Amino acid sequence: MKSKFFSFIFLLISIQTIRAQESEAPYIVPNDPEVVKNIQDWQDLKFGIFMHWGTYSQWGVVESWSICPEDEGWTQRKGQYSTDYFTYKKAYEDLQKKFNPVNFNPDKWAAAAKEAGFKYMILTFKHHDGFCMYNSKYTDYKITSPNTPFHTNPKADVGKETAEAFRKQGFKIGTYFSKPDWHCDSYWWPYFPPKDRNVNYDPKRYPERWQQYKDFTFNQIEEILSDYGKVDILWLDGGWVRPQKTIDPAVEWQKTIPYDQDVDMAKIAAMGRRHQPGLIVVDRSVTGEFENYRTPEQQIPEVPLAYPWETCMTMATSWSYVPGDIYKPAGTIIHYLVDIVAKGGNYLLNVGPSPLGDYDTVAYSRMKEIGAWMKVNGEAIYGTRPVSPYKEKNICFTQNKDQSVNAIYLAGIEESTLPPVVRIKGIKPTKKATIQLLGAKNSLKWKIENGEIVIIIPTSLQKAPPCNYAWSFKISLVE
Ligand code: GLC
């Protein structure tokens, strides 16, 4: 009795914790049919590559956050400039003067990403530190500024070059843009010291300054959406920049937002869609009309979610490039992808380019392994939709548009051969159904036993599976 009581309390606490991080507000279906269509197309893609790249990559530190005067684990300042805040911020901003990623070759990235099976790309055009990785007209704090050695390089406009290279390979393009800008003097007004991640003055008290900030934000987003070719996703980070009325008191971190920081998303979204019809707008964490999909970060939901969503996750441990960072094994990445897709989500996997402008060699080798798996199993991933029971122990399910169902068996760490039989409970094949292991030639024998499908795997196939890490059984017809 006692233990039941405690597990009940534990359950309540866990639910509370999930609630405290993410809002439960209902998803709002966009009323523009072109946006709806674009979201559905994007849901078919499943797998995107994310890139956090900026001057911070030179120090191998966290992106932007070390200049945020909050005492959090991820904001710690280290090294010779860390004795006082202002010295540090200056040294951090001086990184601009040495940024020269001479090995930058976006065609090489795009080819490797395509081979890995990624279908869309999101690059940090501007992170919270305000440094623009594109040629903004509205600031000098940018990769194309004479202050930055790379500005003379023919590929200096990194945003443009990267978007073009990936577009050429058939990718959908997303631009990460931080709503807060810790370099801009109408966000962190130099008259006051910065206090935390928020605007450092009360916008209600200084409406003209806030208006300047709104205009600046609008203008920068407009140049990205009008001068950089086709953009499919505007991925807006920094959810504390939001109207006060959207603050959800049930979400712990939102309680600390001190001011109304309304940048007029309605105006931004309308402008964006004038330039880019059907643009998906992701106003992260600001549940409402402008969060066209949700973005659980570094986590996979326990259960399928009833709205469009995408888990963003690092391939290593950090969003930014850190020398010697530990990359997740390919098998783990593949299992996460399958789990996410079975729950109806997309997987946005981050690789941080180095200060010289290339991915870590480990990232390339992971991408190769993922690509080899995708070649065999891609049809069980792309274009699929979730299907009940979603997941049964180590088997995940997806459904193709022709209604066939894929049962994807996640192999254990030591499991390199297929088991002699695979049993599945939650799916009922019709009598005429065929079951095929993707990557193998012949269809497999199967029968129903005690209401379960029993798939029989010939010995030769057990020993020579068509791929590593996870195996997809395609069931042609289900009831
Ligand atoms: C976290 C990090 C932020 C990063 C984002 C990507 O919120 O703090 O720097 O850009 O994740 O989703």
Give the pLDDT of the chain (479 residues) as one tens digit per residue: 334 444 444 334 333 434 445 677 899 999 999 999 999 999 999 999 999 999 999 999 999 999 999 999 999 999 999 999 999 999 999 999 999 999 999 999 999 999 999 999 999 999 999 999 999 999 999 999 999 999 999 999 999 999 999 999 999 999 999 999 999 999 999 999 999 999 999 999 999 999 999 999 999 999 999 999 999 999 999 999 999 999 999 999 999 999 999 999 999 999 999 999 999 999 999 999 999 999 999 999 999 999 999 999 999 999 999 999 999 999 999 999 999 999 999 999 999 999 999 999 999 999 999 999 999 999 999 999 999 999 999 999 999 999 999 999 999 999 999 999 999 999 999 999 999 999 999 999 999 999 999 999 999 999 999 999 999 999 998 88
| The pLDDT of residue 22 | 66
CA 122-177-38 angle, to 5 degrees, is: 50
Amino acid letter, 292:
N
Mutate to test the pocket of ligand 1, among 297, 312, 314 (most ligand atoms within 8 A of CB): 297
Closest C-alpha residue for ligand 1 atom 4: 319
- Per-residue HEC secondary structure of 294-363 comes to ECCECCCCCCCCCCCEEEEEECCCCCCCCCCCCCCCHHHHHHHHHHHHHCCCEEEEECCCCCCCCCCHHH
| The pLDDT of residue 11 | 38
Atom in ligand 1 nearest the alpha carbon of residue 312:
12
Q: State the Cα–Cα distance between residues 352 and 359, nearest whole angstrom.
A: 7
Q: Is the CB of 237 under 6 A from ligand 1?
A: yes
How close is the Cα of 390 to the center of ligand 1, in Å?
29
Atom in ligand 1 nearest the alpha carbon of residue 176:
10
CA 293-296-298 angle, to 5 degrees, is: 145
Residues 6+ apart with CB under 8 A from 332: none
Q: State the Cα–Cα distance between residues 111 and 121, nearest whole angstrom.
A: 12
CATH number listed for the domain at residues 24-380 = 3.20.20.80
Q: In terms of C-beta density within 10 A (0-12 exposed, 13-18 middle, 19 or more buried), how is residue 439 classed?
A: middle
Atom in ligand 1 nearest the alpha carbon of residue 319:
4
How close is the Cα of 197 to the center of ligand 1, in Å?
13
How close is the Cα of 67 to the center of ligand 1, in Å?
14
pTM of the model: 0.95
How close is the Cα of 472 to the center of ligand 1, in Å?
33
Per-domain boundaries in the chain? 24-380, 385-475
Choose among 133, 384, 173, 197: nearest CA to 278.
Answer: 173
| The pLDDT of residue 27 | 96
Q: Is the CB of 297 under 6 A from ligand 1?
A: yes
**Structural Rg of the chain based on CA atoms:** 24
Choose among 51, 148, 58, 53: nearest CA to 355.
Answer: 58
Distance (Å) of CA 206 to CA 97, 181, 211: 33, 17, 9
Closest C-alpha residue for ligand 1 atom 11: 297
Is residue 134 within 8 Å of residue 108, measured between CB atoms? no
Q: Is the CB of 63 under 6 A from ligand 1?
A: yes
Which residue spans within 426-478 are E strands per DSSP? Answer: 435-437, 443-449, 452-456, 470-475
| The pLDDT of residue 21 | 58
How close is the Cα of 34 to the center of ligand 1, in Å?
29
Atom in ligand 1 nearest the alpha carbon of residue 178:
10
CATH class for domain 385-475? mainly beta
Cα-based torsion angle of the residue sequence 225, 227, 230, 232 in order, rounded to the nearest 10 degrees: -20
Mutate to test the pocket of ligand 1, among 319, 322, 347, 351 (most ligand atoms within 8 A of CB): 319
How close is the Cα of 56 to the center of ligand 1, in Å?
14
Atom in ligand 1 nearest the alpha carbon of residue 127:
10
Report the chain's terminal Cα–Cα distance, integer Å: 41
Mutate to test the pocket of ligand 1, among 235, 237, 315 (most ligand atoms within 8 A of CB): 237
Q: Is the CB of 319 under 6 A from ligand 1?
A: yes
Tokens read off for 422: 């695979």
Tokens read off for 106: 């976006």
Q: State the Cα–Cα distance between residues 345 and 297, nearest whole angstrom.
A: 12
